[in-house]
A and B are shown apart, each in its own frame.
Chain A
Amino acid sequence: MPNDYLLTVISNIGMISLIALSAYLLLISGEISFGQQAYFGISAYAGAIATTLWGWPLWLALLFGSSLAALAAGFVGLLTLRISGLYFSIATLAFAEMVRLSLFKLTYQIEIDGELIGPNGAEGFGEIRWIFDNDVSVLEYTLLIYGILLLVLFFLVLIERSRLGMIFRMLGQDPLLTRVQGLNPVRYKVTAAILAGFIAGLGGTLYAHSFTYIEPQIFNMMLGVHALAYGLIGGLGTVLGPLIGVAIDIGFLESVRVIQGYRMVVFGGLVALMLIFMPRGIFDEKRVYWLKSIARRWFRA
């Protein structure tokens, strides 16, 4: 059904937006993580296990998967406190690959209705049947995804306007100067890592239940690099930046027929060109500030 296909694309945009937002949160606080897919994957497995094998309700599974992801992210954040720049990027990449490879070893199956169900190494983890068992339609599930995305956006806007958000942006510009303003970077770097892990985790559990089948290979580094690229394309000046990046890639590039089969060539080239001409994306801090002041003037008139 074309309608269902469209809905799948739309819900895909929603879920990928979550991992893009997670990478964005780290980007604005000055760290480039190549490893957000790890938290997406951890939560996808954990959340799916919780509903499918333990019979938990979805909301609890979401909370569980994302908390586990946040915990892992906080742990990595603590371990990598001393390093930054490309050392940080490569360390997060190494961690994410470790997670992905470990998932190949993860076998945990339980017999349900005469069938062995659960993650089974390279075979993956199928029959994540929560949607069917609860008679949730594609439309309803898409609405759920967007509900959660909106909550996350709301929370991120709140953060952007808060002291915490300002501290993240300070860290992103000059960690030493931030320290000399009386702020301890350690605390905020780990906070950013945990929040980012949690947001990626929300996307992960949602993803597992939407596709009903997951395998380790999905959570490879190309997912992480895409997540990163979305923020860099859309812009680092506003939380809408990563969403714009996702929409450009999945919404636009995917639907243009001419570039079918050359999508990566176009996308890769786009990212490379953006980094040359607009290193902080379309809606970077300057343009957002400018747009805001225009809006303010227009509002007053």
Chain B
Amino acid sequence: MLELQGVSKTFGELQVLRGIDLHLRQGTVSGLIGPNGSGKTTLVNIITGVYPPDSGRVLLDGKDISRASADQITRLGVSRSFQNVRIFNRMSVLDNVIAALIGHDKAGLTTLLGRAKRTGDPKVTTARQALKTVGLLEQRNLSASELPLPLRRRLEIARALACDPKVLVLDEPAGGMTPAETASISELIRSRIAPGRTCIVIEHKMDLISHVCQHLCVLNHGEKIAEGDPRSVVSQPEVIEAYLGRV
């Protein structure tokens, strides 16, 4: 499935990632935790092709994608959400999801000039389905900018989900949410999104992590300090010191 081999990245003087190895197993949810600034988002950016890695490789189904551009990687089946929510503010909620599906159309002239949302278009059906999964169907005709933060995060998930990705990457899906909202999104991921799907979930909130992840990986200062079964990883002393000890 998705595999990282010795991925490193520096920004100017700052080494953000040092030789990260990671192996995602098909159909499981892996958690990625670590203190703020430990390089989690940067890792996501490298996986999704937003930045190229300085060294190391990213393999998707055995194919090296570390030099591919973000749009190619998306089309190969890696979808993501953003820690700082990014949505198309001047589009309706439904259109935001359709926008994601458009990227997966074949880019021929007739496709490009064809109606974006013909009635009865399978894209509309798929988009509505995705919205229904995350519980946003009611709001589909609102402008995306009118959604409150928790619903925006759901919209991002719907958008990523609609393309039926091979790998789904969620960067802090419960960031900035209240405990009740967190619990609800955590249940959503566990019951509706995770089954049968390869996912990476980045989160600080341990209850969400322990609720949804079968596998856990801990980053600290750009280094992987622990990996394995969530319960055993969390009890390792260096993890507690690096991360949990400070909570």
Contact = CB atoms under 8 A, between A and B. Distances in A.
A174 B88 contact: yes
Interface of A: 158-159, 161-167, 169-170, 173-174, 176-177, 179-185, 187, 285-286, 289, 293
Contacts of A176: 50, 70, 86
Contacts of B159: 181
B62 interface: no
Contact of B91 (A169, A179, A180): A169
B96 to A, nearest CB: 9
A174 B156 CA distance: 14
Contacts of A162: 112-116
Interface in B137-168: 141, 143, 159, 163
Contact of A166 (B69, B75, B89, B116): B116
Contacts of B50: 176, 180
A250 B163 CA distance: 48
B97 to A, nearest CB: 10
Contact of A181 (B74, B82, B143): B74
B113 A177 contact: no
Interface bin, chain B: 35 or more
A163 B92 contact: no
A170 B103 CA distance: 11
A32 B107 CA distance: 26
B105 A286 contact: no
27 contacts: A161-B115, A162-B112, A163-B102, A163-B111, A163-B112, A166-B95, A166-B102, A167-B112, A169-B90, A170-B99, A173-B91, A174-B86, A176-B86, A177-B82, A177-B88, A179-B69, A179-B70, A181-B71, A181-B102, A182-B74, A182-B75, A182-B104, A183-B102, A183-B103, A285-B90, A285-B143, A286-B143
Contacts of A177: 82, 86-88
Nearest to B88: A173
Given A179-B70, A181-B99, A173 B141 contact: no
B80 interface: yes
Contacts of B115: 161-162
Interface of A is mostly: helix
Given A163-B105, A174-B86, A181 B100 contact: yes
A182 B71 contact: yes
B48 interface: yes
B113 A166 contact: no
B189 to A, nearest CB: 20
Contacts of A161: 115-116
B98 interface: yes
A181 B69 CA distance: 12
A164 B105 CA distance: 11
A165 B114 CA distance: 10
Contacts of B74: 179-182
Nearest to A181: B103
Contact of B143 (A167, A174, A289): A289
Given A162-B114, A165-B116, A166-B102, A183 B71 contact: yes
Contacts of A180: 48, 50, 70-71, 74, 80
B156 to A, nearest CB: 10
Nearest to A165: B116
Given A167-B102, A182-B74, A289-B92, 10 more contacts: A162-B112, A173-B89, A173-B90, A179-B70, A179-B71, A180-B50, A181-B71, A181-B99, A182-B103, A285-B90
Contact of B116 (A163, A286, A293): A163
A159 B113 CA distance: 6
A125 B131 CA distance: 60
A187 B48 CA distance: 20
A289 to B, nearest CB: 7
A184 B90 CA distance: 20
Contacts of A173: 88-91
Contacts of B112: 162-164, 167
A162 B113 CA distance: 5
A6 to B, nearest CB: 37
Contacts of B80: 180
Contacts of B114: 162-163
B98 A166 contact: yes
B88 A184 contact: no
A165 B91 CA distance: 12
A182 B112 CA distance: 14
Contacts of B100: 181-182
A158 B91 contact: no
Between A158, A286, A289, the greatest number of chain B beta carbons within 10 A of the residue's beta carbon is seen for A289
Contacts of A174: 86, 88
Contact of A184 (B71, B87, B95): B71
Nearest to B70: A179
Name the residue among B50, B99, B114 with the largest chain A CB count within 10 angstroms: B99
Query: 4 shortest A-B CB distances, which residue pairs?
Result: A182-B103, A182-B74, A181-B103, A164-B112
A183 B75 CA distance: 8
B58 to A, nearest CB: 15
